Structure 1
Amino acid sequence: MSSEFPFAQVIGDPIKQSKSPVIHGFWLEKLGLTAEYGKAHVQPQGLADYLSRSRVDANWRGCNVTMPHKQAIIPLLDSLDPLAQRIGAVNTVVRQEDGSLRGFNTDVAGFLEPLTDTLAKKHLFRMARILGTGGAARAIITGLSDNGMVIVLAGRNQEKAQSMIDELAPQGDHHIAPLDHFAQPTDFEFDDREGCCDIIVNASPLGMRGQPPLAFDFSHAPPGSIAYDIVMDPLETDFLRNAKDAGFRTIDGYSMLIGQASAAFELFFGAAPPREHDEELRERLMA
């Protein structure tokens, strides 16, 4: 894609399923900006070539980066924002005025956005149970540990979980657990949770259409917990439905998707997206 107007893209392999063009296109339309946002199917062997061609186009503002490129793209960039450097993953590349490429990670901001009001309050204790040790978990661990959360990271591979904690949140008193620990009921009696903040995050693809379900028994959720699922298809997963049935507040995958896109949009186009239209945007995403 080349354009006579400023433009940005999302790249990945595969890319057909990406909803980023819908989101950015919606905001460009609402703001009346003369700019474009598209998608490009970039396979791993073509990543360096894509960046070489794009960086010489003054109208190319940058790209969002999806799997499998979030880590592979790092050595091809000229500089990294400190947060992206810490996480070890880039989801947004921005072309600088001199043609150099800088990598950012807006997944942290996107993930934390729906938790802003909750995390602004003072709590006696904060704990996050994070289910999954894939790429998305890296940003989530970083964002929550920076906000004073004690992390319990659950994965199938305990060594991988421990190494992620050691790398991303070495200062805290964090823990690891086998993923199947949370599948069976528990009779653990939680203490009085008033003044505590508990978050349970599905950071895995489990529960996504075509994937096995996420086995989580909500007897492991302290009273007042927030259940957060980053899966977007289906939008209401069994995990979220079971959480609602158990009386917990839920946050769906569109929340993080729209939040991370919002931060990227501003980097690309120099304007804040019109977030007052989020409900209309959700309707368009679900159409």
Structure 2
Amino acid sequence: MREFGLIGQSLGHSFSQTYFTQKFHNLGIEDCRYDLFELPTITQFADLLARLPELAGLNVTIPYKEQIWPFLDDVAPSAARVGAVNVVEFTADGRRIGHNTDYIGFRESVRSFYPTRGEAAGALVLGTGGASKAVEAALRELDIRYWLVSRNPLGRGLTYDDLTPGILAAHPLIINCTPLGTAPNVHECPPIPYAYLTPEHYLFDLIYNPSETEFMQRGREAGAQTKNGFEMLCIQAEEAWKIWNEGN
């Protein structure tokens, strides 16, 4: 039995187990299983490895996409480029290699959603964690300039208080990379000035549960285009599956 799974701190919202279990069923694969592994701290990752020596691949989610780095033997160019890991490959010789498929998932999902490129393009990336690093890498590839937005006044970007009507008008694409709005806390949302949104805006939420977050709902009510992270989830999952099966 090949064992796969997802590690994170709180996984009640995740569709990953359902996605891969259905994939195994559809493909008639009977020797694979996918489980959720909630770890209160990343230090318990070593215990998980000792308990499940047959692990064949892992996904990594909040808040361990950066914290898992010391537990890896190497990182692929995708993870090095992003600075965060969301996929762990277990090689035949016992090495653990970190990859990032989040940026591929976001890149491909946003490509058709937000058509503007070059000087006219502009994005606000809400949050500065591992997920936002993947979004940054994708935006650079797509030639979309961006600002990071966080609560930290000493950060390298803007704060939510800095978001004027002019800044929002110059950055039509707004991407939520925070966990705000994830089930069960569905009434939460990033504190952007929603009153400044217009039908010219595009709101992309990396969250996929619920399918329409408070962030997306407020954007839709302002006439903005909205998209959740489900397609991104599917694309990054398929890229992870390719990595886990290379050479098998």
Give 1:219 deviation, angstroms. 5.7
Within a 5 Å distance, the mapping from 1:30-69 to structure 2 comes to: 30-34=26-30, 35-42=32-39, 43-54=41-52, 56-57=53-54, 60-69=55-64
- Opposite residue 175 of structure 2, the aligned amino acid is V
Decide whether the 8 Å contact of 2:126 with 2:150 is kept in 1. yes
Deviations 1:22-57 (A, max 9, x none): 011111111112222112233433212323554x53
Decide whether the 8 Å contact of 2:4 with 2:58 is kept in 1. yes
Aligned match of 2:131 in 128, 136, 154?
136
Q: Which residue of structure 2 aligns with residue 76 of structure 1?
A: 71
Decide whether the 8 Å contact of 1:80 with 1:102 is kept in 2. yes
Instruction: Tell me how many residue pairs correspond in the alignment.
Output: 243
- Identity over aligned residues, as a percent? 29
Instruction: Tell whether 2:214 aligns with 1:238.
Output: yes
Give 1:187 deviation, angstroms. 7.0
Decide whether the 8 Å contact of 1:25 with 1:36 is kept in 2. yes
* Greater gyration radius: 1
Give 1:13 deviation, angstroms. 2.4
Q: Structure 2: how far apart are the matches of 1:63 and 1:188?
A: 39
Deviations 1:117-162 (A, max 9, x none): 35787655221111222332111112112321111211111322x1
* TM-score, reference length from structure 1: 0.73
Deviations 1:228-253 (A, max 9, x none): 01233432122212222333221113
Give 1:190 deviation, angstroms. 5.4
Q: Structure 1: how far apart are the matches of 2:83 and 2:237?
A: 19
Q: Which residue of structure 2 aligns with residue 275 of structure 1?
A: none
Q: Which runs of 4+ in 1 moved over 4 A?
A: 118-124, 187-191, 218-223
- Opposite residue 145 of structure 1, the aligned amino acid is R
Q: Structure 2: how far apart are the matches of 1:134 and 1:20?
A: 20
Q: Which residue of structure 2 aligns with residue 257 of structure 1?
A: 233
Q: Structure 1: how far apart are the matches of 2:67 and 2:234?
A: 24
**Range with greater deviation from structure 2 (146-155 or 251-260):** 251-260
Going from structure 1 to structure 2, the CA distance change for 1:84 and 1:189 (only over 3 Å counts) comes to: closer
Instruction: Tell whether 2:247 aligns with 1:266.
Output: no
RMSD over aligned Cα, in angstroms? Answer: 2.9
1:159 is paired with a residue whose SS is coil
* TM-score, reference length from structure 2: 0.84
